[in-house]
Structure 1
């Protein structure tokens, strides 16, 4: 029997896998893999993400490495716009544009190709699975803006409350499609 969902929150609540003490003790990891694996739940989530991106005026979708690629690609296809894969450092051949950022335990960097697409004036909505501290989305914003793009918003499936991510992203609208998280 195929389950029909009324909204993304219902689909997520039905299919999400909660894993205690991962990646470390005291953390409850919200695994979206079962949501993505279920055709109806995935469709419902992508439809919600797409509608949010449409309202934010997306000319292009920026998908963050790695689950943002899965979600962002489906959204871009649904909207009939391009997808820009924003990769972790070292995954793309040169030349690249790079943006470093600070993590709790060190530094990391994001990259996009320096050739092959013109980002000047593009309105890009960033799509990812989870907003936690906001560091990755903020670094992606800085990277895209340095290339002449405008980040018109952020669309995520889940938000981990209390980690300050929302506050870091105050320059553009944030849409969390699972309002129960």
Structure 2
């Protein structure tokens, strides 16, 4: 990933009440463009034909990366919101909060000719990414990997999912318990 994307991410990242906040990146169009290029970069020459994003920040980042790569976007919905057509569904393993998400992807959105990249803001357990990969593969698609702003996954999970990141969680400023 580019050093410029790394610098922008670290400059705009903050902690609020103990929660990581990457939203300031979205408020600045130049920062967002740099981060999107950073997310797309490692996969630019990898034959990606579609980008997936999990609701909600994954929708924003994934769609922007899809435009950057000149490919289409495939939405992955959580829960029971309106999502027409035949769907592939997976229940993720527990995430960092112990929550299991029901994820849905429109079956017709991914086919055997597709090489799919997942884009999101953060990966920790990899449970959602693993569920998305399983759905992509059920639809006949090929998994290209996962591009994230912040990587907090363990090395085995990172390798298994093909994770590339702009920064790792260890590079973020420490939460001081005051903001």
TM over 0.5: yes
Please name the residue that 1:149 is paired with. Answer: 141
Q: CA deviation at 1:49?
A: 1.0
Contact 1:125 1:153 (C-alpha < 8 Å) held by counterparts:
yes
Question: Match for 2:61 among 54, 62, 71?
Answer: 71
CA distance in 1, matches of 2:158, 2:13: 26
The one-character-per-residue Cα deviations of 1:123-164 (angstroms, maximum 9, x if unpaired) are 00110100111101011111111111111111000022xx53
Please name the residue that 2:98 is paired with. Answer: 105
Q: CA deviation at 1:174?
A: 1.5
Please name the residue that 1:26 is paired with. Answer: none
Query: What are the within-5 Å matches in structure 2 for residues 78-89 of structure 1?
Result: 78-89=68-79
TM-score w.r.t. structure 1 length? 0.82
Q: How many residues align?
A: 166
Please name the residue that 2:6 is paired with. Answer: 9
Mapped pair 1:170 → 2:159: yes
RMSD across aligned C-alpha pairs, in angstroms?
A: 2.0
Question: Could you say what secondary structure the match of 2:118 adopts?
Answer: strand
Q: CA deviation at 1:51?
A: 1.2
Q: Which runs of 5+ in 2 are unaligned?
A: 173-179
Query: What are the within-5 Å matches in structure 2 for residues 131-142 of structure 1?
Result: 131-142=123-134
Q: CA deviation at 1:169?
A: 4.5
Q: CA deviation at 1:13?
A: 1.6
> Which structure is higher in helix share?
2
Please name the residue that 1:123 is paired with. Answer: 115
